[in-house]
């Protein structure tokens, strides 16, 4: 993880997040799935206990949190299963992330088009502008320019540069930026869903 402060997160949730380790995750998270993360989630069947919150503020957002935890640990099928219980916008977003990592860029874009915008797009766009910096990779330069024009995250341009990284067409520096953006996108979406599920705000970094 890059920005999330695990001390603010329910201990059981933090434990699942840290199963992958503290390093920047690879391009495709399902290539080497984390067995212990899945086992922990399978054993923690009650969302109230997992999230340390009784009652939950939003049961559907709790399902989104669980889906994202499976996704983070590299288990897309389980993530899809739990995402079906999430709100429409978050379900579509999670499904789009899974499709993107699977190499189905067209399906991912279609799902993202259906959700239109999301509250995380503004902070994600701000982060992307800083993270991309002066990168000379054409896909990243275009992404930075589109974000600057709209002052928001641009998921379709990112899907294109992500596919370049997945196909091994970027140099190591460019690939690392793509990985960093994907990780930050997850973190922001995860924090958004966790806050809604528990009714508790997290400090922003």
Residue 204 has pLDDT above 80, yes or no: no
Residue-wise pLDDT tens digits, 35-57: 999 999 999 999 999 999 999 99
Residue-wise pLDDT tens digits, 108-163: 999 999 988 999 999 999 999 999 998 889 999 999 999 999 999 999 999 999 99
The least confident of 4-8, 60-64, 152-156 is 4-8
Q: Based on the number of CB atoms within 10 Å of its own CB, is 88 exposed (0-12), middle (13-18) or buried (19 or more)?
A: exposed
Residue 203 has pLDDT above 80, yes or no: no
Write down the pLDDT at residue 1: 60
Write down the pLDDT at residue 93: 98
51: CB partners within 8 A, 6+ apart: 10, 12, 13, 62, 65, 194, 197, 198
Average pLDDT, the chain: 94
pTM of the model: 0.96
Tokens of 176: 């690392």
Residue 205 has pLDDT above 60, yes or no: no
- Confidence grade of residue 3 (pLDDT, cut at 50, 70, 90): confident
Write down the pLDDT at residue 19: 87
11: CB partners within 8 A, 6+ apart: 52
């Amino acid at each position: 993880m890059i920005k999330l402060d695990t001390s603010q997160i329910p201990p059981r949730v933090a434990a699942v997040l840290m199963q992958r380790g503290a390093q920047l995750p690879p391009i495709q998270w399902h290539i080497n799935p984390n067995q212990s993360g899945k086992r922990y989630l399978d054993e923690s069947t009650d969302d109230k206990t997992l999230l340390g919150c009784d009652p939950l503020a939003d049961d559907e957002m709790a399902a989104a949190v669980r889906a994202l935890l499976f996704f983070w640990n590299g288990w897309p099928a389980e993530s899809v299963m739990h995402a079906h219980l999430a709100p429409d916008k978050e379900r579509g977003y999670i499904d789009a992330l899974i499709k993107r990592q699977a190499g189905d860029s067209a399906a991912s874009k279609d799902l993202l088009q259906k959700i239109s915008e999301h509250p995380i797009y503004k902070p994600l766009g701000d982060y992307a502008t800083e993270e991309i910096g002066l990168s000379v990779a054409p896909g990243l330069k275009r992404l930075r320019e589109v974000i600057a024009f709209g002052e928001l995250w641009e998921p379709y341009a990112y899907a294109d540069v992500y596919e370049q990284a997945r196909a091994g067409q970027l140099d190591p520096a460019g690939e690392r930026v793509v990985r960093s953006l994907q990780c930050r996108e997850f973190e922001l979406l995860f924090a958004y869903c966790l806050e809604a599920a528990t009714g508790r705000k997290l400090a922003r970094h």
